[in-house]
A = this chain, B = another copy of it.
Amino acid sequence: MSAPASRNHSEHAALFSQLGERSAAPTIARLMAMALETPGMLSLAAGFTDNATLPVDFVDDAWRAMRANAAAANNEFFQYGTNQGRPALRRMLAERIVRADRLETEPDALEPCVFMTNGSQQALYLAMQVLCDPGDVVLVDRPSYFVFLEMLRGLGIEARSLPVDANHRIDAPALGRLLDALAAQGKRVKAVYFVSYFCNPSARSLDEAEKNSIATTLAARGLFVPVIEDAAYRELYFEKEWPARSVFALPAWEAFPKLYTATLTKPFATGLKVGYGICASEDWRKKMLHVKGHHDFGSANFNQAVLEHAIATGNYEKQLARLRPAYHAKMRALHDALAEAGLRGRGWKWDEPSGGLYLWLEAPRGLDTGMESAFCRACVEAGVLYVPGDLCFGDAPDRKFIRLSFGVLGAPDLREAARRFASVAARF
């Protein structure tokens, strides 16, 4: 009867909540729209993984095993799971962090602290929902994960960057001054967030001294605020794991409420979307789980069962062992092509990453790489897409950085994309 496809002219507008009024299209959507209009575009923007590496065989193994055992298991993997997630999977995740961080805790004691989410993104959202009201401040790394920053804006939370020095390392004295200034302004710092392993976007990892310096600077001011350590890329190292332990293991952080978030599917199959959080602060964790009960009362049980099988059989580790050299080689393809095109001679700077999916380029002084810049438009016209670095700053956006991902494209396309990018850079 009515014509539901577009709002009927006689249809009244809804009145939105404050959150609804704040909501805005993701900045990157404009870039993606531009990309779609350009045939043959090579995207170094998306943080996707490489389709060729996706583990059809390991999911097939999992499904065959589940199917063979279906009658005995009463098909339980197709039934609702619990809000918190599958205990056996959570037990294995507890074991993994005990091993990685050399914790003296028993995995069984840590298992109740683990909760499964729709990607690690949901764990971050739940953390922010239960901690922050609009106007509260969250400290974030500089640069930081831009989807997290957009989420903060959506929730009305103010991001303030953890100051870094000229070498992009945490600058504790400057952090002290920032905290004092925030206190003088009456701002409430409610949490601190950082991507500490092969950071999206900077590819940097924090060492233990840097993490500790954040804790001691906060503690000196009595600010024992919750810390959220985003370890999404921790297992995606190329040759050896980054040696720093997480905040769970560091005495400097002992008195702080702590949440560690990570994903199982970024290094496996992103289409399965299984992430998790580990939080030993019972009151905080329970509140996140109560809100998760309202979001969805539990992440897809089937997907968790597939990951449980993959980890239990060792297939998950085998997949990681495949990915590491594959991404290493792709990083080298992009990195070398940019270097060989003479970008460094033109004043571009970047470090060679030892893990993750990104190169983080600093443009020559004075060159604006922002979303609306002539340089960005020229790249789109040349058929290569990047993430403008200015999206990745919680405050005082710096418009001279660029995030390039070597996740999606194969080596030949990465080299061609680098060639296109360098040809634009040569003109600016």
- Closest chain B residue to A77, Cβ basis: B271
Of the listed residues A14, A51, A119, the one surrounded by the most CB atoms of chain B closer than 10 A to its CB is: A14
Interface status of A122 (Cβ within 8 A of chain B) = yes
A177 within 8 A of B: no
Q: Which of A124-132, A343-351, A365-373, A377-385 contacts B (4 or more CB under 8 A)?
A: A124-132
List B contacts of A269 (CB < 8 A): 78-79, 302
Q: From known contacts A296-B122, A300-B272, A302-B303, infer whether A109 and B5 are also in contact, taking CB-CB under 8 Å.
A: yes
A67 at the B interface (CB under 8 A) = yes
Which of A195-203, A278-286, A330-338, A415-423 forms part of the interface with chain B? A278-286
Stretch at the interface among A22-30, A309-317, A320-328: A22-30
A290 beta carbon closer than 8 Å to chain B: yes
- Considering only CB atoms, which chain B residue lies closest to A293 in the complex? B26
Question: Considering the chains assembled together, what is the distance between the CA atoms of A74 and B79 in angstroms?
Answer: 30
Residue contact B280 to A5, C-beta cutoff 8 Å: yes
A176 within 8 A of B: no
A112 to B4, CA, bound (A): 10
Contact flags A264-301 to B (C-beta < 8 A → 1, else 0): 00000111110000101111101100110111111111
Query: Which residues of B sit under 8 angstroms from A142, Cβ to Cβ?
Result: none
A73 to chain B, nearest CB (A): 9
Q: How far is the CA of A24 from the CA of B287 in the complex (A)?
A: 7
Q: Is the CB of B291 within 8 A of A23?
A: yes
CB of B300 within 8 A of CB of A23, answer: no
* Bound-complex Cα distance A112 to B226 (A): 40
**Considering residues A81, A130, A249, A296, which has the most beta carbons from chain B within 10 angstroms of its beta carbon?**
A296
Known: A4-B278, A130-B19. A295 touches B255 (CB 8 A): no
Tell me if A167 is interfacial: C-beta within 8 Å of chain B. Answer: no
A14 adjacent to B283 (CB under 8 Å): yes
- Which stretch (A147-155, A236-244, A353-361, A393-401) binds chain B? A147-155
From residue 104 to 128 of chain A, which have CB atoms closer than 8 A to chain B? 104-106, 109-110, 112-113, 118-119, 121-122, 125
Q: Which of A7, A74, A224, A303 has the most B CB atoms < 10 Å from its CB? A: A7
Q: A6-B282, A119-B296, A125-B295 are in contact. List 11 more A-B contacts (CB 8 A).
A: A3-B280, A4-B110, A5-B106, A10-B255, A13-B281, A14-B281, A20-B129, A147-B293, A270-B301, A273-B298, A273-B302
